[in-house]
Amino acid sequence: MLSKSQAKTFFLGGTIVTFVVFLGLSWNTLSTEVPKRTHEENLSPLVIKGKHIWKKTIVWVVIPYLAKSAYYAPELTKSVRRRGEGYIKAALMSPVPWSPRGRKMVAYNMSEKDADAVVAFMKWIGEIDLNGFPAKHKYNQSNQPNK
């Protein structure tokens, strides 16, 4: 059994060692892993402009829906690959609200230059290595309904 001073020393020592390991892993992640996974070398002025447009016009619309339900808005990191540039540009440039699958979306009414910038940003996001996130669902064929 440890004395009170030994327990205190053990606790403080363990806390300090754990904190140092945490700082080391954080430094390693930020200095080597993040640049490697995000492909910072592909950042262009168009991608950066798209990010600023994204933050100004799109994020303020999506965030309130995320507070209500995490499943309201689709996952957007691979949307260019799924839908294509033309579909996304058409949605961003549309002057009227559009309703995919019954969900009423916002009419952004962007110019073609702004839509090109947002698409460039979304393409860059789609190339980020998310280390397997989100996980792909593994469906059991026996559980699928009969067609």
**Among 92, 106, 99, 78, residue whose Cα is nearest residue 50:** 92
Q: pLDDT averaged over the chain? A: 79
What are the helix and strand counts (H, E) for the chain? Answer: 7, 0
Confidence of residue 32 (pLDDT cuts 50, 70, 90): confident
Place of tokens 């033309």: 86
Q: Where are the domains of the chain?
A: 1-38, 44-135
Which is more confident, 82 or 69? 82
**DSSP summary character for residue 54:** I
Across the range 17-39, mean pLDDT stands at 89
**Among 64, 67, 38, residue whose Cα is nearest residue 51:** 38
Residue 25's SS3 state is: helix
Query: Was domain 44-135 assigned CATH 3.30.450.270?
Result: no
Q: Which pLDDT belongs to residue 75?
A: 65
